[in-house]
Amino acid sequence: MNVDHYTYRVSFSAEDGEFVGTCTEFPSLSWLDKDATKAFSGIRSLVKNVVADLRKAGEAPPEPMATRRFSGRFVLRMPSELHRTLAVNAAEQGVSLNTYALQRLTRTDSGELSAHEERAAYRVRPSKASSAPKPSTRKRAGPAPA
């Protein structure tokens, strides 16, 4: 297993006044340094040593996120009222509940989309399995134009 396949992050810690290097697969490990590059080198070296120690002790190190297989399925339990609200919102947008949920989940952490981005995000073809009503192409009945 190559330690370079693990998920590393370096960010500035205002509390410590230094950069902190972390590894997703080893949440209890971190490395502080005033230099971001050294914080990365430090956490990578620490992970390499921990992996070596685990192997020496006959323990398996965690599998890197990068090499894990994900099914693409994500089951989520929620209150029935929230489920209803989401289904209504999806139907109003003319998309499946799955598509609507994906659109909501893929928004950035920085906040809501702008009105323009929100309209663009919902410009997707409705799913064939969608229970959303399709717009009618029939002309409205009424008096003939004069």
Q: What is the pLDDT of residues 21-65, one digit of tens each?
A: 999 999 999 999 999 999 999 999 999 999 999 999 999 999 999
The answer regarding whether domain 3-67 maps to CATH 1.10.3470 reads no
pLDDT, position 133? 42
| Nearest-angstrom CA–CA distance, 91 and 102 | 14
Flag whether pLDDT at 142 surpasses 50. Answer: no
Domain ranges of the chain: 3-67, 80-121
Tell if the pTM clears 0.85, that is, is over it: no
Percent of residues, the chain, with pLDDT higher than 90? 65
Q: How many CA atoms lie within 13 A of 134 on its CB side?
A: 9
pLDDT digits 0-9 by tens, 115-136: 444 544 444 444 444 444 444 3
| Nearest-angstrom CA–CA distance, 122 and 107 | 12
With beta carbons less than 8 A apart as the criterion, state whether 22 and 29 touch.
yes
* Residue 86 identity: L
